[in-house]
Structure 1
């Protein structure tokens, strides 16, 4: 397909999403595990939201943050995985220019929101363990709504310029994106003009959003570790560690592939392209799949409500 310019800015009418370069013949079979993970993510997060909404005893800060995380996961994976599966199974590779910009916005904005929610959950664990008697007063419902609104506003405001900047850039005649979805750097590689502003802004956002969130999470858990080690009872220490363990697993599952993808764009030129694309795809579906499983298994109240719901059925 050749790009057909649709404006004076040399914008293509549509892009072609390659999928996984180098593994085109295997994409049909690769799609099956992605489909299974997507179904688990959608069903699992929907169940978590339903349980939290219908059970008054779960209307507490920890579960409000968990509901935010579930909503974010549903938006993040649903904005990309269905189109990805249509590429792998149906060969439907074409995506309109503005549809591509919209998908790019949702991917980056809600990745930022998820990072912010994980940071808020780390602060919640810090307050719950270090200031248990003041937990409900510090993290009141208005405070939680404010935190959630700020995290969402940050994602929207800081990620919107990506779409605006890319919209104004001139593209070459070659408009095949070597990716399974419209990722910012994958699109920038097709630009014929100067991309300095886009690249610098991408680095700025990465350090301001991810760098800030990781710093707060690290400081929170360092102080949690100090507080837990001071507990006189071994049982109390084990209970506190168990409470934080599932959150740490979710944090690692989210940030490790994100960090790999970010560094690979800048420095990982020796990494095979199909490895980079597969990790980037897993980044969008594995955390949304793991979150309801980990919290459903580790959180007694949610586990009991799920068992009770299915027993009634």
Structure 2
């Protein structure tokens, strides 16, 4: 029983990272209808920025956390304003290719500035093991779970009760109608990219608190994308849930069936779910009249 519980908890921890990344993918898709393939690279860049902030004497974890909030959102807004907004009206394929090119540029810039050697990230939350019954967790793992749960709650309230969230839902349903109703679509797009960058930053911070900091952090972006598909590309909270499901599925498969099956367990799960629910677990079904 102890082995099962530890597999479950470690699966939820890695799933929370997938979930945060999936929320970044889904936020942009929900507002603009496009897939941002630079999520992993934004995660990597913000992780390195937080690393520099962590070196400041006396700043501590809360200082780094609070500093990353405006920095990450400003970075996301700048990316949208400089690279994405000029592409409005262009084919979706061209806009997606811009994000792929942007990912390459960000990765190269990070390597040029910080190098390729792994950096030991400061243990801002300490290394003391916290025991919950038969399970043992580090503070960084608890942070990852808690920040994802908090952001899910905030996003649920944001889309249901805030004017900006409702405007974002309207824009995702029909951009032309939203424009006719007086919604500033450009502003909505900028907010979506800023929030997406913040989710990526939280994923990067949580990852580095648990592991080392290196350019390969960006690969987590592609590993988190299946969680977006599973939860539903247009569902931010659904993407978080999809990340948890995939994280647990991978860990259980690796623990009971063999490590070789760990990497494919999530994709097998996605295939099975999409055969039943093509739009994901929480995705919105699109109905077209012909």
TM range (shorter): 0.3 to 0.5
Q: Give the TM-score normalised by the residue count of structure 2.
A: 0.32
Which one has the largest radius of gyration? 1
TM-score (normalised: structure 1): 0.31
